[in-house]
Chain A
Amino acid sequence: MSFPEKVRLFANSAKVVFVSYVKAELLRSKGFFLGLISMATWLAILMLPMTLFRNPETPASIISTYAFVGIAIFQAYSVSTWDWGWELRDSLFRGVLENVIISGSSIFVMYVGIIPMTISWLALSLSITYLMLSALIAPPIIQVTNPALFLLGLFSLMIVLFAYAMILGSTLIASGTSGAVVEFVSWILPIATGGITPLTNLPPTMRLIALLTPFSYPAELFRYSLGLTTLILPEEIMTAVSTAYPTAFLALGYLYFKKQLHKLLKEGVKTVSLW
């Protein structure tokens, strides 16, 4: 098969995945919308107590903006964990993955099909978060002070999260790790890697740990470009590291993914339980 034919086949398969998700989640059931309302309600549980920490002199909109950015990054991590990483385990459980493997098609077909859904989901959930924060605290003020760094932060965040999803997903299909552990990781990771709080607010040891991971750099650039924090490293170094580290992490994620897939094909599936 020639390369253009391969590309066409890949694109067609991804389109089929996308259409099936749209039909299943948006048209056939009301799952998408009910899921968003559910998420907004869960978020309210966490957001309401945060208002109790507010300094009476600090404008409510500033508190709201910090909370919005923290939740936005947390949701991005969440998408990566559940829509991308967990999806592999879910498709294994539903018998979809074995069909993808047998068909000779790339597993990434599923990702390419899911990504537009994921982005729509993320955009909508952020809109709901914005509305919730506006109703509960005050409307967040989103002002991009440095568009170039904002885009770099966004792009490197996507790369890092995609690499993380590959590592998590391939571990999940090749080992018997339970969903409860994944849930645990999905909470700890954004906290420990400086995803939720500016690095300057972290205790020194945690800051160092966060800086050793590729996750902290995009999140910090993101906050800096929105004027919410100062950088703890010079801007040039942050820019260079935010480009190089996520790229290296992606390469590592891809190699690990290939290795785990090979292990799965050689040794078989470790667990058939979803959770």
Chain B
Amino acid sequence: MRVLQLIKSETLLVYGELLRRKQVLLTYIAYPYIMTFFIIFVGSSVGSLENFEAKVGVNPFLFFIAASFNFLVILGIVDDVLWSPIYDDNIGTLPYVLSSTTPWFLRLLVIPIPRLALTMILGFTSLIPIFTYFEGLEGLLTSSLIMGLGGLAGLLLSTFAILLACSISMLMGESWRLLNIVRPLMMILLGIYYPRVLMPLAVRIISYLLPSSHVVDLMLYTLVSERMPEVLRALTWLGAGTALAVAYGPLSYNSTKSLETKKLREGIKT
């Protein structure tokens, strides 16, 4: 019951804010298009769309709209988890969060759930129109699959995001600036805009440790092969991602507890 109440209040908070500030909502919807056109624009001025298609094996418009969708969905789902300890500290709500009977870890774990609906909003406004335009009914199916995988990629990153957010707050000062380095780095390692297969081996190994990178890989495979992935292949990727997300669970729980203990011992600096 407590979890449902938490999800309900988080939902009201997120969508109340989103509907109240329509400019933010509209910008969020416009972002996949902006990112896609920005990259294609600059990319085609230094090369050509044909070169891209020859190298990657997929229409650049489809690739970049899917990549931008993933980028925004994953950030939209986990970004508030990443910022939460710093944000609560800055606005002075951390004492209330820590003194609440609801465990902090549970509160952080619930944050991504209402934001999953963002996947639907963004998918309907970016993926479906572009994919249907280029590929017709088949594109509609592909975009629906990508929407599902995008939501899953965001959700699977939650435990890792909690671990990251709490570890940064725990170990470093000026943590928001550091987080601003770690966030884009994490997005590169996920292989969203630059496929993992093209990365150097050392970088690829780090990328394998991120739960969502396997889901992103599955998505790229679906795009490039232009067909539904085989069951075994899909299960391997999804299994690897889920296993990693679960494995990060105890670590992220411990990191939240350690940060909580540290804050209680040292007091909250404003």
> Taking beta carbons and an 8 Å cutoff, which residues of A are in contact with B?
29-31, 34-35, 37-38, 41-42, 44-46, 48-50, 52-56, 58, 62-63, 66-67, 70, 177-178, 180-181, 183-184, 187-188, 191, 196-198, 201
Taking a contact as CB atoms under 8 Å apart, the answer to whether B38 and A191 are in contact is yes
A196 to B37, CA, bound (A): 12
Kindly name the residue among B24, B47, B180 whose own CB sees the greatest number of chain A CB atoms within 10 A: B47
Closest 9 CB pairs of A and B: A53-B47, A53-B43, A34-B177, A48-B194, A180-B27, A41-B184, A197-B45, A38-B180, A54-B47
Name the CB-closest residue of A to B179. Answer: A38
Q: A49-B193, A52-B51, A70-B45 are in contact. List 4 more A-B contacts (CB 8 A).
A: A45-B187, A50-B47, A181-B23, A196-B38
For chain B, residues 211 to 258, give those with C-beta under 8 angstroms from any C-beta of chain A.
Answer: none
How long is the Cα–Cα vector from A62 to B46 in the complex, in angstroms?
A: 8
Q: How far is the CA of A125 from the CA of B48 in the complex (A)?
A: 27
The yes or no answer to B39 lying at the interface (CB within 8 A) is: yes
Inter-chain CA distance A198–B21, complex, in Å, is: 36
How many residues in B have their beta carbons less than 8 Å from beta carbons of A? 38
Which residue in chain B gives the minimum CB-CB distance to A54? B47
A50 touches which of B34, B42, B177, B184 (Cβ 8 Å):
B42
User: In the bound complex, do residue A70 and residue B42 qualify as a contact, i.e. CB atoms below 8 Å apart?
Assistant: yes
Are B177 and A53 within 8 A (Cβ)?
A: no
Least distance between B247 CB and chain A CB atoms (Å): 26
Closest to B181 in A: A38
CB within 8 Å of A: which B169-212 residues:
174, 177-178, 180-181, 184-185, 187-188, 193-194, 198
B52 in contact (CB, < 8 A): yes
Q: Please determine whether A49 and B41 come into contact, CB atoms closer than 8 angstroms.
A: no
Give A49 Cβ to nearest chain B Cβ, in Å: 5
Measured CB to CB, the closest approach of chain A to B52, in angstroms, equals: 5
- Contact assessment for A197 and B41 in the assembled complex, using a CB-CB cutoff below 8 Å: yes
Q: List residues of B (25-78) whose CB comes within 8 Å of A's CBs.
A: 27-28, 30, 34, 37-39, 41-49, 51-52, 55-56, 60, 64, 67
The CA of A50 and the CA of B42, in the complex, are separated in Å by 7
Whether the pair A181, B47 counts as a contact (CB closer than 8 A) is: no
**Cα distance A66–B45 when bound, in Å?**
8
User: Is A201 in contact with B44, judged by CB distance below 8 angstroms?
Assistant: yes
Given A46-B39, A53-B49, A196-B42, answer yes or no on A31-B23 (Cβ-Cβ < 8 Å).
Answer: no
A197 with B42: in contact, given A48-B193, A53-B49, A191-B37 (CB under 8 Å)?
yes
B residues sitting closer than 8 Å to A (CB atoms) are 21, 23-24, 27-28, 30, 34, 37-39, 41-49, 51-52, 55-56, 60, 64, 67, 174, 177-178, 180-181, 184-185, 187-188, 193-194, 198
Provide the bound-state CA to CA distance between A63 and B51, in Å.
13
Q: With a CB–CB cut-off of 8 A, which chain B residues contact A38?
A: 177, 180-181, 184
Q: Is the CB of B64 within 8 A of A187?
A: no
User: For the complex, would chain A's binding face be called helix, strand, loop or mixed by DSSP majority?
Assistant: helix
Quote the shortest CB–CB distance from A4 to chain B (angstroms). 42
Complexed CA–CA distance, A62 and B47 (Å): 10
Interface centre among B67, B177, B187 (most CB of A within 10 A): B177
Q: Are B177 and A35 interface neighbours, CB within 8 A?
A: yes
Q: Given the complex of chains A and B, what is the CA–CA distance between A37 and B181 in angstroms?
A: 7
Asked if B47 contacts A58 (CB within 8 A), the reply is yes
Tell me how far the C-beta of A132 lies from the nearest C-beta in chain B, rounded to whole angstroms.
Answer: 12
Query: With A and B bound together, what is the CA distance between A35 and B193 in angstroms?
Result: 22
Residues from chain B with Cβ under 8 Å of A45 in the complex: 184, 187-188, 193
Contacts of A54 in B (CB 8 A): 46-47, 51
In contact, B184 and A180 (Cβ under 8 angstroms): no
Residues of B within 8 A of A184 (CB): 27, 30, 34
- A35 and B181 alpha carbons, distance in the complex (Å): 8
Least CB separation from A197: chain B residue: B45
Contact between chains at A34 and B181 (CB < 8 Å): yes
B164–chain A nearest beta-carbon distance, Å: 15
Given contacts A44-B188, A49-B64, A52-B56, contact A180 B47 (CB under 8 A): no
The residue among A31, A50, A178, A197 with the most chain B CB atoms within 10 A of its own CB is: A50
